[in-house]
Amino acid sequence: MAILKVEPLTTARALRGPFDYRRPAAMEDLEVGSVVRVPFGPRRLLGVVVDFADASELPLERLAEPIEALEAGAPPELVGLGLWVAREYCSTPSRGLQLVLPPGTGTGSGRPTRAKVELRAEILPAGEAALSGGERLGVKQRAALEALRAGELSARELASAVGADRQTLRRLEQRGLVATRDSRLRRAPGGAALTAPAERPRLLPEQQAAVEAIVAALDGDAGAPRRQLLHGVTGSGKTEVYLAAVEAALERGHGAIVLVPEIGLAPQAVARFRARLGDRFAVLHSALSAGERYDEWQRLRSGEASVCVGPRSAVFAPVRDLGLIVIDEEHDPSYKQEGDPTYDARAVARRRAEVSDAVLVAGTATPRPESWLELPRLELPKLRMPPVHLVDMREADPRSGPIHPETWAALEAVRVAGTKAIVMINRRGFAPWLNCRSCGHHWSCPNCDVSLIVHRHSGRLVCHHCAHVEVAPRACTECGSTTLSRAGAGTERIEALLAERLGPMPIFRLDSDTAAGRGAHARILARFGEAPSAVLVGTQMVAKGHDFPEVTLSAILDADATLRFPDFRAEERTFAMVAQLAGRSGRGEAGGEVIVQTLAPNAASIEHASRHDSAGFLAGELERRQRLHYPPYSHLVRINFSAEVEARVETAATGLATELRRTLPEGSELLGPAPMFRVRNRHRRRVLIKADDREATVGAVREAVESRAADRSLREVSIGVDVDPQ
Ligand SMILES: [Zn+2]
Ligand SMILES: [Zn+2]
């Protein structure tokens, strides 16, 4: 095989390989996945060997040779998976391959020696947007972020690679998008703070049956399904089943991947895996430093570790002889990547399991309609669930505020009994609106079409969509009046109301404001756990990843908030949220109850959740999806347009929509463009496509989008494609 097929690693969408190179005699040991530096016109690029061939369309003497081969490379068995992601999610081969390359490829960050700059953007909501392009970043800032995407670099390396000077770095650092750290620090990933017992508890009969079914699949028994849904409420023992299945895979000489929604929200589960698996355990996630990530990656690649636990990106972990993939909380939206490529780790897991003949287990208390429809089920025991009491807020006296008298009564009872309560509301901050009572002036974000949120602790008005912050005014900026009204409620206001009425009982607030620092989330939960009697108030975070038997009351104050999103998954999300919160109450001997305040007591999701009826909800939801031609009965592709100039977005969106109406395959339906909206000072429009034939539709969209890559009139418009949008 004298010819190398090389896919360049580049951000340019139009540059698409693979390109042919001659294999030099000195590079006999190259394999699929090897990284080489190649001449490309006047430039030098890094590229990945994706295939070999005996002949090229070009004469051999006209082909160039790689300049050098790098030490690092992607595992050959994962190169196909990276390219599959690129095709399936309308991305570029380069972006797909980046997912399976060792962290820091081509940057020399594998052996860090001095202070390095590392990318923090991936773990911030605002950073995702910055990375996916289109935000207000200078050319150098953007180039620096792109370079750091592949791994950390020293300031000097960054300067020579993309010309980013100190000022550029300082700006990025101020925005929180990058951080500088001393790379001589310890590289073993942290998390030792939490310990968990290593002994194996006795399995219940249902757990035992589930483990046996998975083991039968691992042994390749005829008739044992290769993919299974493990359905069980919180506390029914799913983690023990995963652990037993992973141990069975290890005994058979296989490795395993365990996907968890967000590592920060699953400290208890991660600690259990670490305690039971010891040295065989590795963890991969974006909160690790680049050096730590590199080390964990190498431990897996070398076979030193065989089990990888991590969030969505861990689906690409280089686990050897993969035999089992577990997806915990498989309904969780964090399995979908927002930036390009917009992959869904659940779909990638399925593909990877198929290709490597591994067994797939998806576990959840609230299955997605598609999984319910497609996967054979393993049922864990039904636990005694707490009664759910629906409180109809349409009939409530508006003067009684965001907490209904019935909810207050239940909270008072918790205080008297000396137990604990969890209170959830879907919005952080103090109040979602600030208005002037005299002239009606309303404070909204100068960059986005949304209201500014009042944050009382910081004395600021904050936009939850962009980084805009201003000092909260004492008087109206329009008329000078001092009668300002802070309407509505967020976590801060509820915290204040609870403290006022229930004090001195401690109130702990858990939302992305209080849990921002490293370890803050676990600390708040620990303090709530240690207090003899307390209330935990917060956003959806309070419904995830913990287990406190002393909780006798869960209350959700705005159960219909998620229903108001214009999203076909709104019902599914709402059901999952209410069911998850209900599962947090009454876990101990004392029993418990659940209060659901809502303006929509008759919504299917809320009604079924109040009866703990997954099967009933899913039957109705699947019927609705079929009628409306939504997944799993179709595929969705969303195209996002954005630009600073409104007219440019208009031209691009309507032009592309018109073309696609002509070129989309039979069975596709194009909706939109939807109305214009503005976020982070950019005008945005969306087009949605419902499709029967996914491959042909993605193909048509790719062609239409890429034909515009060279169009100078659209240069300032960013066009993003999201396949299977959430
Ligand atoms: Zn006013
Ligand atoms: Zn804003």
Dihedral angle of Cα 578, 580, 585, 587, to the nearest 10 degrees:
150
Co-location of 343 and 238 in the same domain: yes
Q: What is the tens place of the pLDDT at every residue in 545-576?
A: 677 888 999 999 999 888 887 788 999 999 99
| Residue 447: inside a domain | no
> Looking at 89-93, 473-477, 513-517, 660-664, which range is the least confident one?
513-517
Q: Sign of the C-alpha dihedral, residues 715, 695, 625, 368? A: negative
Joined tokens for residue 611: 């009866």
User: Which ligand gives the minimal distance to the CA of 481?
Assistant: 1
The CATH number of residue 421's host domain is: 3.40.50.300
- Could you give the 3-state DSSP secondary structure of residue 35? strand
Q: Half-sphere exposure (CA, 13 Å, Cβ side) for 660?
A: 33
| Residue 624: inside a domain | no
Distances (CA, A) of 298 to 128, 291, 306, 317, 625: 26, 11, 11, 10, 44
| Residue 445: inside a domain | no
Co-location of 374 and 416 in the same domain: no
The CATH number of residue 653's host domain is: 3.30.70.600
Closest CA to 64 of 50, 95, 43: 43
Bridge partners for 423 per DSSP: 537, 555
User: Which ligand gives the minimal distance to the CA of 680?
Assistant: 2
Q: Tell me the CA–centroid distance for residue 18 and ligand 1, in Å.
A: 62
Calculate what percentage of the chain has a pLDDT beyond 90: 58
Q: Are 592 and 383 in contact (CB under 8 A)?
A: no
Q: Tell me the CA–centroid distance for residue 263 and ligand 2, in Å.
A: 28
Q: Give the pairing type, strands 227-231 and 377-379.
A: parallel
Q: Tell me the CA–centroid distance for residue 119 and ligand 2, in Å.
A: 23
How many CB atoms are located within 10 Å of the residue 247 CB?
A: 18
Q: Are 585 and 391 in contact (CB under 8 A)?
A: no
Co-location of 592 and 506 in the same domain: yes
The protein residues having their C-beta less than 5 angstroms from ligand 2 (an ion) are 445, 447-448, 463, 465-466, 468
> Looking at 164-178, 182-196, 437-451, 463-477, which range is the least confident one?
182-196
Give Cα 632 distance to the centre of its chain: 20
Q: Mean pLDDT, to the nearest integer, of 496-503? A: 94
Q: Tell me the CA–centroid distance for residue 364 and ligand 1, in Å.
A: 50
Q: Tell me the CA–centroid distance for residue 266 and ligand 2, in Å.
A: 30
User: Which ligand gives the minimal distance to the CA of 484?
Assistant: 1
Give Cα 350 distance to the centre of its chain: 17
Co-location of 583 and 601 in the same domain: yes
Q: What is the tens place of the pLDDT at every residue in 219-248?
A: 999 889 999 999 988 778 899 999 999 999
Distances (CA, A) of 370 to 347, 435, 683: 11, 43, 34
Q: Which long-range contacts (CB under 8 A, 24 or more apart) does 75-80 make?
A: 75/33, 75/100, 75/301, 75/318, 76/31, 76/32, 76/33, 77/355, 77/356, 78/33, 78/316, 78/318, 79/32, 79/33, 79/48, 79/50, 80/355
Q: How big is the chain by its Cα radius of gyration, in Å?
A: 27
Co-location of 420 and 566 in the same domain: yes
- Could you give the 3-state DSSP secondary structure of residue 686? strand
Closest CA to 227 of 331, 380, 355, 377: 377
Q: Kindly tell me if the per-residue pLDDT of 527 is higher than 50.
A: yes
- Angle separating helix axes 205-218 and 238-251, nearest 10 degrees: 30
| Residue 164: inside a domain | yes
How many CB atoms are located within 10 Å of the residue 657 CB?
A: 19
Q: What is the tens place of the pLDDT at every residue in 363-398?
A: 999 999 999 999 999 999 877 788 999 999 998 888
User: Which ligand gives the minimal distance to the CA of 443?
Assistant: 1
Q: Are 561 and 593 in contact (CB under 8 A)?
A: no
Co-location of 369 and 411 in the same domain: no
End-to-end Cα spacing for the chain: 44
Q: Tell me the CA–centroid distance for residue 442 and ligand 1, in Å.
A: 8
Distances (CA, A) of 315 to 94, 101, 127, 664: 18, 13, 22, 31
| Residue 103: inside a domain | no
Q: Tell me the CA–centroid distance for residue 526 and ligand 1, in Å.
A: 45
Residue type present at position 558: D
The residues, ordered by sequence, that sit 6+ positions from 265 with a Cβ below 8 Å of its Cβ are 521, 541, 544, 545
User: Which ligand gives the minimal distance to the CA of 453?
Assistant: 2
Co-location of 142 and 164 in the same domain: yes
Q: Tell me the CA–centroid distance for residue 444 and ligand 1, in Å.
A: 14
Q: Mean pLDDT, to the nearest integer, of 290-307? A: 90
Q: Kindly tell me if the per-residue pLDDT of 474 is higher than 60.
A: yes
Co-location of 375 and 406 in the same domain: no
Look at residues 573, 588, 617 and tell me which one is the last residue of a structural domain. 617
The pLDDT of residue 186 is 34
Asked whether the bond before 267 is cis by omega within 30 degrees of 0, the reply is: no
Q: Tell me the CA–centroid distance for residue 531 and ligand 1, in Å.
A: 45
Q: Kindly tell me if the per-residue pLDDT of 270 is higher than 70.
A: yes
Q: DSSP secondary structure string, 354-380? A: HHHT-EEEEEESS--HHHHHHS-EEEP
The pLDDT of residue 493 is 96
Give how many domains the chain has, as a whole number: 5
Q: How far apart are the C-alpha atoms of 492 and 455, rounded to whole Å?
A: 7
Residue type present at position 721: V
Co-location of 509 and 581 in the same domain: yes
Q: Give the pairing type, strands 3-8 and 34-40.
A: unpaired
Instruction: Please give the sequence-ordered ranges of beta strands (E in DSSP) within 606-703, or none if there are none.
Output: 635-643, 669-671, 677-679, 682-691
> Looking at 82-96, 129-143, 590-604, which range is the least confident one?
129-143
Confidence of residue 96 (pLDDT cuts 50, 70, 90): very high
Bridge partners for 681 per DSSP: none
Joined tokens for residue 204: 């219940």
How many CB atoms are located within 10 Å of the residue 654 CB?
A: 15
Render the burial of 694-711: b for 16+ CB within 10 Å, e for the rest: bebbbbbbbebbeebeee
| Residue 199: inside a domain | no
Query: Mean of the per-residue pLDDT values for the chain?
Result: 87
Q: Kindly tell me if the per-residue pLDDT of 4 is higher than 90.
A: yes
Q: How far apart are the C-alpha atoms of 72 and 185, rounded to whole Å?
A: 23
User: Which ligand gives the minimal distance to the CA of 436?
Assistant: 1
User: Which ligand gives the minimal distance to the CA of 476?
Assistant: 1
Confidence of residue 309 (pLDDT cuts 50, 70, 90): very high
User: Which ligand gives the minimal distance to the CA of 437?
Assistant: 1
Range of the domain at 610: 388-430+489-617
Co-location of 134 and 220 in the same domain: no
What's this model's pTM, rounded to 2 decimal places?
0.83
Q: Tell me the CA–centroid distance for residue 681 and ligand 1, in Å.
A: 25
| Residue 476: inside a domain | no
Co-location of 39 and 140 in the same domain: no
Look at residues 125, 150, 185 and tell me which one is the last residue of a structural domain. 185
Q: Are 631 and 724 in contact (CB under 8 A)?
A: yes
The CATH number of residue 23's host domain is: 3.40.1440.60
Q: How far apart are the C-alpha atoms of 475 and 456, rounded to whole Å?
A: 15
Q: Half-sphere exposure (CA, 13 Å, Cβ side) for 694?
A: 14
Angular region, 618: left φ>0, alpha ψ -120 to 50, beta rest: alpha
Co-location of 404 and 533 in the same domain: yes
The residues, ordered by sequence, that sit 6+ positions from 699 with a Cβ below 8 Å of its Cβ are none
Closest CA to 259 of 313, 216, 220: 313
Q: Kindly tell me if the per-residue pLDDT of 267 is higher than 70.
A: no
Q: Are 7 and 17 in contact (CB under 8 A)?
A: yes
Instruction: Please give the sequence-ordered ranges of beta strands (E in DSSP) within 169-250, or none if there are none.
Output: 178-181, 227-231
Q: How far apart are the C-alpha atoms of 70 and 47, rounded to whole Å?
A: 10
Q: What is the tens place of the pLDDT at every residue in 27-36?
A: 888 999 999 9
Q: Tell me the CA–centroid distance for residue 107 and ligand 2, in Å.
A: 35
Q: Tell me the CA–centroid distance for residue 175 and ligand 2, in Å.
A: 15
| Residue 458: inside a domain | no
Q: Are 574 and 559 in contact (CB under 8 A)?
A: yes
User: Which ligand gives the minimal distance to the CA of 679?
Assistant: 2
| Residue of higher predicted confidence among 715 and 554 | 554
The pLDDT of residue 57 is 86
Q: Tell me the CA–centroid distance for residue 500 and ligand 1, in Å.
A: 30
Q: What is the tens place of the pLDDT at every residue in 171-225?
A: 777 676 777 654 433 344 544 444 566 678 889 899 999 999 999 999 999 889 9
